[in-house]
Structure 1
Amino acid sequence: MQRGWKAAAMAVVLGGAGGASAHEFTCDKRVQVKGEAESPQGEAPRVTKFPATLRFQYRLRNVHPKGESVANLVEDPLLARYGFGSPFPTPLALGVGQSRDATFELKLDSPAACQALAASDGRMDDSFDSTMRVKWDLGETQCSARVTCCEPFVDCEMTCPPDDPYCVEPPNPVAPGASRNAGFFKVHEQALQQCLGLGGVDLGAARVESLEQALGLLWASPGLDRNGGVRSEAEAQRFELAREALVSTCNERLFGANVKRGRALDEALRTLRGSSGDEGLERLTRELGRHNDAGLREPLPGGFDAGRATPAHAASIAADPTEPGRP
């Protein structure tokens, strides 16, 4: 008798648990740059003109075949600071086959505002993901949409709002001009020598004064010093920044540089020559790398002779100029 009572009680408990989990949702999340054509399927919209308005669109659907579904939590953490952390009030009950839509518009006044969003998701890139998270009893689902920001001073454009008659649009962004990256300079000894003919380059842990030293910085491994020792993470980051700074210096000397690249180079050189810390190394390396790549398709100035590529010889004379153990 006692055993039968326990079995009946267990059946009631299991039955209750099954009823509590009888919920199921799917969600859909899209982002569109207002006033522009919707991006092709699977392609993230790119924000290039400012001020811009992003239109976030949400759809939550009950897909349980027989019963009502109740969402206990619906959130979009990335947009919480803008007053839209909860696209739908909860608890939210939807009957069989029912769905609920919501929209939110966010105005970005400048490229800096877009870049701030890109940085807020914790990844070091020009994109951000806005994710809606839905939780119910014993279940959860998520849906995300990605947005990509333009690169300031390269492909961003400031325009006037249609309702502001006093706004004057600035001129179009300046083309980046010719530039070449580390892969070019590491095999074109003649171009690199012309750069160094205008003076040495002080890069903190390394002062590059000869062709061999410059090639050493371009050919050596960021993770290993010239004695075969393993560099610390900070040393490796400084090495990579020094490499991009050398390339950017040569781009400036040989081909000219736009304003943005020049500011980033100045900051990088100050950071490399200082010893106060390693904050910003990764950001500066990424920024200089972008600008070194920006003009790869542009022709070199007329009359400039880069010489032929000599990878085998260049690698054979390369000598890492960095001092092991020095920050």
Structure 2
Amino acid sequence: MPPALIHTFPRLVGDIGGTNARFALITAPGGQPEAIRTLPCADFDGPAAAMEHYLAGTTTPRPRWCAFGIANPVDGDTIRMTNHDWAFSVRELRATLRLDHLEVVNDFTALALALPVLRPEDLMKVGGGSAAGGRAIGLLGAGTGLGISGLVPCGGDYVPLEGEGGHVTLAASNPQEAELIAWLAARYPHVSAERVLSGPGLVALYQAHAALAGRLPEPYDPADVTRLALAGSDALCVVTLASFCAFLGTVAADLALTLGARGGIYIGGGIVPRLGEAFARSPFRQRFEDKGRFSRYLSEIPTYVIQAAYPGLIGSARVLERRAADSTTPP
């Protein structure tokens, strides 16, 4: 680290979703996130208030460099969150926080940057296949919404993708899924992948299953559906979670085929990592490989569930590492 960049520590990093905002400090080159805190977004009127609250509880010098991922498209200065009511100017946020440098990226773009530095113990492999070096990598994850990204090889490094693949149109793979999508289509203007593969989507999928079974749905939230499904104590929740995992397999396979992701598919977000071994036993991997003539192609692609505690913060730290490296590269 050139002496001129030592002053950029400590660095503030964040991972802002539709429900929670996580913050941490990086206090030295190559350091891991420290002083990690999770704050409910609903408790603050914007990221500036949340960050000031976080910084008030730290004892280090005030950070001058900051990067965070946010669950939203990042295109220009103004950001209005899709799954929350925060709206802000990046330029004004930098001035308010008195930062020398601020990077704001899509949360799954940041998460994608964390993938190359995750340890084997940070991952749970589901199914077979082996990662091919120097090939594209796919990433998706369900939480408050559905994030999708990936890494594309570029020289000796990777370029992260920044898109909104969670809003692609959801496809059915069998007659029952077609009926579920038809029920949802009668109630929503667009049945995207996120409409099903998210926390709110899990509830919508449960309601669709209840309607097709001729039953009145219970007033469950996403945690209820997951808990009762894993316990096996509510049959509708069991089939809902199975459908959720199967739909995720379809979307993951489509991503793998689109990117040529022979480097593997990684699954993050707030839902799947909490399922543990139940996800490995789910229909996910079978559906992932169920692509007719390309089933063998997909069977050779490994799929991993990210189990690291705060991978989004690691990714945000890497955003700043790359920026620092760029600033020290001779022209």
Fold match (TM-score > 0.5) = no
Question: How high is the TM-score relative to the length of structure 2?
Answer: 0.24
Name the structure where helix makes up a greater proportion of residues.
2
| Higher relative contact order (CA closer than 8 Å, sequence separation 6+) | 2
